[in-house]
Amino acid sequence: MTLRIFNTLSRKEEDFVPLEAGKVSLYTCGPTVYNRVHIGNLRAFLFYDLLRRTLEWKGQDVRHVMNITDVDDKTIAGSVREKKSLRQFTDFYLELFLKDLDALSIERPTVMPRATDKDAIDKMVELVERLEKKGAAYKAQDGSFYFKISAFPTYGKLGHLDMAGLKAGAGGRVAADEYDKENVQDFALWKAWDEKDGDVFWETRLGKGRPGWHLECSALAMRHLGETIDLHAGGVDLIFPHHENEIAQSEAATGKPFVKAWLHNEHLLIGGQKMSKRLNNFYTLGDLERLSGATPREVRFALLKVPYRMKLNFQVTYDADGKPVRFDAIEEARSSLARIDNFRRSLQERSGRAASKTAEERLARVRADFEAALDDDLNTAKAIALVFELVNDLNKEDFDQAFARKVGALLDDLDRVLAFLAPPQAAALSADEKKLLDEREAVRKEAQAKKLAGDKPGMKAAFGRSDELRAELKKCGIEVEDKPDGSTSWRRVK
């Protein structure tokens, strides 16, 4: 089966065929490390992880490059405000970002270059020189270098821009890294040093200064993946101007297509508005844990359940004081994952007859249908629904341990993509929980013995203690079920 993806450049779904058979070059836009990322940002990084995991699950060897923007207007302003060196300031937020990636089971990129690496600066300088030589860049009076949009006639092709309907900025140039999306202007490639940059600058053949934001992605993608790459992914807010500028400066320099297919994920919304730091309506991974007890696994489920090209409206309920008291997506994720965990735990208890040939074929069909859902432009809603359909159906059946192991193996296989089906180690019983469960089992046996001996007071006392232990386990999030045959099972409910 072939993965079909929606290519922003062509505005249609296409079969993905890598430039080199069996190998995929993937570039994704990394964070600007000036603040802690929020879950809207993390939705993008989870999408990149889903894309990479799907490709690898389908047998592709993926080389994934993601940049770290550790020099731009925001990082410089932040380091000045906190009276720290740029490196100290950005190291702090980079470490927090990497912890969030690890918590959410997001695989680290193959290469994660920083914009301030010496090799990165050298490649950016070379790219500016190349563009100037081709007449696509020029030096302004202040010593900064700008890309000449008029030298690239197909500018606007990614966002399908109506160039006539967009306005030109004053003087036709913009020095800021981010700017009004209605403006089409020559943009800064290399910024000459000025006082607000403080001690952030590099002495290069271009003069004393620093790179512009757009320049780094082109230079780093081509440095680590080549002049034409298979896939480039990012958020829809990056289509213009960032990705449009990447295409212009890359293709003007090489004369080759920069990216074969572009993929963009939609926004995460709060109350119908885009989650953003500017609107102050954002939540970090830590916020969700503090406010709702959310685990990273629950957050991963909540953010992946809605396909990447659909807006995800994160419903929040607030109390009279405006404090968030309920996150619907987290509650749903918690309930759904508990069902999965309980089902996986029940597999160890199956003792029925051997599975039929039909049942064996059904497992194979689930995997094929799961792959077909992913091949449909990474349709996670359908893929996840297939998992729960299987769980619901098999919960009604009993089968032997041989088949139970095959079911478990299938879930493990699908979890190579989803990375939330297997419960973390913490989902198993802790030492204290096991002690309570063992004590309750002993008390129940004692109660039965008292019953057979006709010791009603002793039986009543033992069953009373059994109920107390059940209540203690419930406080720990363990729900106990006493079965008619005298056995006991448990499941985690929170």
Is 122 domain-assigned? yes
Q: What is residue 181's predicted lDDT score, i.e. its pLDDT?
A: 56
Which of 380, 409, 426 lies at the terminal end of a domain, its last residue?
426
Q: What is the mean pLDDT of residues 397-420?
A: 94
Amino acid at 265: N
Q: What is the mean pLDDT of residues 259-276?
A: 92
CA–chain centroid gap for 116, Å, is 25
Helix extents (H) in 272-400? 285-292, 296-304, 328-347, 357-375, 380-394
421 and 435 part of one domain: no
Which of 380, 403, 426 lies at the terminal end of a domain, its last residue?
426
Give 378-390 pLDDT, tens digit per residue.
999 999 999 999 9
94 and 176 part of one domain: yes
CA–chain centroid gap for 292, Å, is 20
Is 272 domain-assigned? no
Distances (CA, A) of 145 to 25, 128, 180: 29, 8, 20
Q: What is residue 170's predicted lDDT score, i.e. its pLDDT?
A: 40
Computed on alpha carbons and rounded to an integer, the radius of gyration of the chain in Å comes to 28
Average predicted confidence (pLDDT) for the chain: 92
Q: What is residue 177's predicted lDDT score, i.e. its pLDDT?
A: 75
Domain of 151?
A: 17-265
101 and 139 part of one domain: yes
439 vs 454: CA distance, rounded Å: 22
User: How large is the angle between the packed helices 296-304 and 328-347, nearest 10 degrees?
Assistant: 110
The alpha carbon dihedral of 378, 381, 385, 387 has a sign of positive
Tokens coding 81: 């405000």
361 and 377 part of one domain: yes
315 and 185 part of one domain: no
What's 370's domain CATH number?
1.10.730.10
Percent of the chain past pLDDT 70, that is, above it, reads 95
Give 248-265 pLDDT, tens digit per residue.
999 999 999 999 999 999
- Confidence band of 165 (pLDDT split at 50, 70, 90): low
Q: What is the mean pLDDT of residues 26-50?
A: 97
Q: What is the mean pLDDT of residues 329-338?
A: 95
Tokens coding 141: 């009076």
Give 66-112 pLDDT, tens digit per residue.
999 999 999 999 999 999 999 999 999 999 999 999 999 999 999 99
Asked which of 53-57, 235-239, 343-347, 434-438 is least confident by mean pLDDT, the reply is: 434-438
Q: Who wins on pLDDT, 452 or 306?
A: 306
Q: What is residue 122's predicted lDDT score, i.e. its pLDDT?
A: 98
Spell out a b/e string for 414-440, using b for 16 or more CB atoms within 10 Å of the CB, else e. Answer: bbebbbbbbbeeebebeeebeebbeeb
Is 307 exposed, middle or buried (CB count within 10 Å of its CB: 0-12, 13-18, 19+)?
buried
453 and 482 part of one domain: yes
Q: What is residue 426's predicted lDDT score, i.e. its pLDDT?
A: 46
What is the rounded (10 degree) CA torsion for 423, 424, 430, 436?
A: -10
Q: Who wins on pLDDT, 20 or 396?
A: 20
Is 61 domain-assigned? yes
Which of 241, 265, 289 lies at the terminal end of a domain, its last residue?
265
212 and 79 part of one domain: yes
Asked which of 13-22, 122-131, 346-355 is least confident by mean pLDDT, the reply is: 346-355
406 and 378 part of one domain: yes
254 and 138 part of one domain: yes
The number of distinct structural domains making up the chain is 3
